[in-house]
Amino acid sequence: MPSSSAAVLEPPPPPPPALETSTNVARPRISSSAWFLGIHLACFLAFWTGVSWTAIAVAALLYAMRMFAVTATYHRLFAHRSFETSRLFAFLLSVVATTAIQKGPLWWAAVHRHHHRYSDLPEDVHSPVQHGFWWSHMGWILATDWSATDYDRVQDLAVRPELRWLDRWYLLPPALLTVALYGLGAWLDATWPSLGTSGAQLVVWGMGVSTVIGYHATWSVNSIVHVAGKRRFRTTDQSRNNWLVAIYTFGEGWHNNHHRYQASERQGFYRGEIDITHGVLWLLSRVRLVWNLKVPPPTVLEEGRAR
C-alpha cells in the first residue's frame, strides 16, 4: 500500500519518450475486449434512436454524477483515505460509482494504490513513460493480468462486507440504471411526445455515449497527465498538472499536485486550480455528510509557490 505522505524529492526524471503504441504482450481478456468494443459500437446506435435535448441532458447529468462518485469515492476516499464519511454514505456513493462501469470499489482502489507505489516505474500498470501512450490509456484494461482484485492492497477496505459484495456484483447497479432509463424514456414518450425521446434513446445516450465519454475522461488521467502539462513539484515520476483535464475530470488533472501530497483531499492546491469534486465535498462537509477533509501542509504549498 502506498504511503499517504509526500513523495520523496529528487531531481526531475528525464523527459518522457515520444508517444508510441505499447509493446506489451499481455494476453487480451475476451470479456473485457468484447465489452470495450460493444459499448463503443453502441454509441453509433444514436443514428438510429436520434437525439433530443432530453437525451443530452440525461447524458450530461449521468456524466457529472458518475464522475463525481468515482473521483470522490473510488479515488479520494477509498484509494487515499483523504476524508471521512459514514459507511452508509460511502456505500451509497459507491453504488453510484459502479454505474460508471469501471469495476468495483476494491478493484479500483487496489489498482490505483499499485500505481502510486510504482508510479512510472516498470511495475506501474498504466505508465505511458514505461509502456506507451495507448497501453496506459486503455490497453492495460483489456489484458488478463489486471482483471482480478488484489485484496492484499486493500485489506483496510476488504473488511467491510458491503464493499466486498459490491465489488463482486458491480454490474448490478448499471443494469438497474439501464432498465430505469428505458422505463423513463418510454414514459416520457407516452406522456410528453413533444420531447422527442424514447426508452432506447435514453439508454443509448445515458449508458452508451455518456459512459464512453466518462471512460476516456478517466483514462486520460493515466495517459495524458503523465506526458503533457506543467510540473510544479519535482516528484520522482512524470506526473503533471493539466488544467483542461482537471476541468472535465472534476479536479483530477492537478496530477502533479496529487503525486506530491497524496493525502490531500483537495487536488487543486492553489487559487485558480478548479477542483469540482473538492467543491462538492466541501459543501457536503457543511451538512456533516463528510468530514476531516485533509489539506496539504503549509510546507508543501510554500514549496510549490517557490517554483
pLDDT tens track for 169-212: 999 999 999 999 999 999 999 999 999 999 999 999 999 999 99
Model's pTM, two decimal places? 0.89
With b for 16 or more beta-carbon neighbours within 10 A and e for fewer, the 110-145 pattern comes to: bbbbbbbebbbeeebbbbbbbbbbbbbbbbbbbbee
pLDDT tens track for 103-113: 999 999 999 99
Q: What is the pLDDT of residue 26?
A: 55
Q: What is the pLDDT of residue 140?
A: 86
Q: Where are the domains of the chain?
A: 30-231
Q: What is the pLDDT of residue 240?
A: 96
* Contact call for residues 70 and 219 (beta carbons, < 8 A): no
Residue 151's nearest CA partner among 139, 160, 143 is: 160
Q: What is the pLDDT of residue 124?
A: 86
Helix 30-42 crosses helix 210-223 at what angle (to 10 degrees)?
Answer: 120
The grid coordinates listed for 277 are: 469534486
CB atoms within 10 A of CB 100: 24
The grid coordinates listed for 61 are: 447529468
DSSP 12: P
CB atoms within 10 A of CB 151: 14
Share of the chain above pLDDT 70, in %: 90
In whole angstroms, give the CA distance from residue 281 to residue 149: 27
The grid coordinates listed for 148 are: 482480478
In whole angstroms, give the CA distance from residue 78 to residue 262: 12
The grid coordinates listed for 241 are: 498538472
Q: What is the pLDDT of residue 147?
A: 77
* Contact call for residues 58 and 181 (beta carbons, < 8 A): yes
Helix 53-69 crosses helix 210-223 at what angle (to 10 degrees)?
Answer: 40
The grid coordinates listed for 17 are: 519518450
Q: Is the pLDDT of residue 25 over 60?
A: no
Indicate the pairing of strand 84-85 with strand 290-291: antiparallel
